[in-house]
Amino acid sequence: MSFLPAISFIALLLVLPVLLSLRRSTVAGVQFFCLACALSALAIASMMAAEITRAFLPAMLGYATLISASLFILLGFRGFLALSAPASLFPALALAAGAVGLVVSLNGYGGLGARVLIAAGTNSALLLVAGLAMLDRWPKAHPLSHAVIVASTAIGCAAVVYALGPWHQKAAGASASHAAIAFEFGLAAMRVAFLPLLFLAVILTVQSRVIANLRITIARDGLTGALSRGALIEAGERIFVDCLTRRRPLAFLLLDLDYFKQINDHYGHACGDIALTHFAETVSAFLDGRGAFGRIGGEEFGLILPDHTEEQATALAEAICRTVRETPVGRVHQRIRLTVSIGIAAAAPGDTITDVMIRADLALYDSKADGRDRCTIARQRQIDASARALAAAAAQLRQSDIPERESVAPRRMTRRHRS
């Protein structure tokens, strides 16, 4: 009796708990993979029993179980890859793979069909791992990787049915040629590595997708769906460095909903949340992927626009003001008209992302002081300690609950509440 199937059996038993721990993930197909892994282990156990006892029934049970495992592997990939192919195609593929493996196994160990199948199965293992690796790293390769994964799985399952079969026997007088040694190595690889390697690749790919989904969740504001503050700043720093390095223009827009405190006070905070969500959806739909749009805090949002000059950013800001003005909130008991004030700042040589955001903040103050529902271009001033202090004071005023009132102090030193 060969000990190689036992290694594969133990490896599958080690992999199975890890797969089971991923059942509650939102990734489709994981439950099929769990069932397939358990059936694969059962199939190998049956075939080992058949090899020990030389009994026919355990061998047939092992083959049938392995074909069932192949079916669930293919169904798992159908859900995992979101394939639109009909479900009936995958039982046909599994039966075909099992039939090919069984026929080759019954025809003998040293035949041409066996050698071709083992060679194809060994290559399919490599292609399968490569297809899973490029699945999420190269989105444009998705159609190709889907085809590679499904075809490699079917070929590999056929080779495994043969490699694990108890009936193949060595050809009489087989010479120890290089071809024979290569064939022996391929057979051993099929016996030991294919199924555990397949499920290990699935585990790594599922975990990668779960982590990617978590990163997307963390990067998004829970209420509005826009980028979170941290994700926006991280994207801004990356875009900022790229634009300055390549000497491309960049602009930053600071958007603040007008009279948002009054909306909360008059309609309630639930309607205020609806208004924020509506505003973010309206702006995101208008932008259609242009720039990085995120929520900085409260009713304040930021928009990073690479490859936009000051004039282009101003035209875009005016269009945003017009779009928001013409798209009232209609999902509450009455329509709420929204307006937005915007501060615009273009990056200059020697700036940091913080400098640009501070200038946009000061320009936003001017938009609020000049009557709201408008956009203002920031002055190209040096950002010194007093400017930073003024920007910090402006941020505090935006978060304060001081009722709106007129002030007799100079406009630059005291401002109305920017809601």
From CA 346, how far away is CA 377, in angstroms rounded?
8
At 339, the pLDDT band (50, 70, 90 cuts) reads: very high
From CA 150, how far away is CA 80, in angstroms rounded?
11
From CA 313, how far away is CA 252, in angstroms rounded?
8
Proportion of the chain above pLDDT 90, given as a percent? 22
Query: Residue 130 class from Cβ within 10 Å (0-12 exposed, 13-18 middle, 19+ buried)?
Result: middle
- Give the pLDDT of residue 407: 35
At 286, the pLDDT band (50, 70, 90 cuts) reads: very high
Task: Name, in order, each residue with C-beta under 8 angstroms of 252's C-beta and a sequence gap of 6 or more.
Answer: 236, 302, 303, 304, 305, 344, 345, 346, 347, 353, 356, 357, 360
51-65, 177-191, 222-236: range with highest mean pLDDT? 222-236
Please give the backbone phi and psi of residue 341, each rounded to the nearest 5 degrees, phi first. Answer: -110, 145
- Give the pLDDT of residue 151: 78
From CA 77, how far away is CA 108, in angstroms rounded?
32
Angle formed by the axes of helices 269-287 and 310-325, to 10°? 130
What's the rounded mean pLDDT across residues 226-245? 87
What's the rounded mean pLDDT across residues 290-304? 92
Residue 195 has pLDDT above 90, yes or no: no
What's the rounded mean pLDDT across residues 129-149? 68
Give the residue with greater pLDDT, 357 vs 95. 357
User: How do residues 372-417 score in pLDDT, each as one tens digit?
Assistant: 999 999 876 545 555 555 555 444 444 444 344 333 333 333 333 4
What's the rounded mean pLDDT across residues 291-317? 93
Angle formed by the axes of helices 89-106 and 56-80, to 10°? 140
Task: Name, in order, each residue with C-beta under 8 angstroms of 415's C-beta and a sequence gap of 6 or more.
Answer: 365, 368, 369, 394, 397, 407
> Is 23:66 a contact under the CB 8 Å cutoff?
no
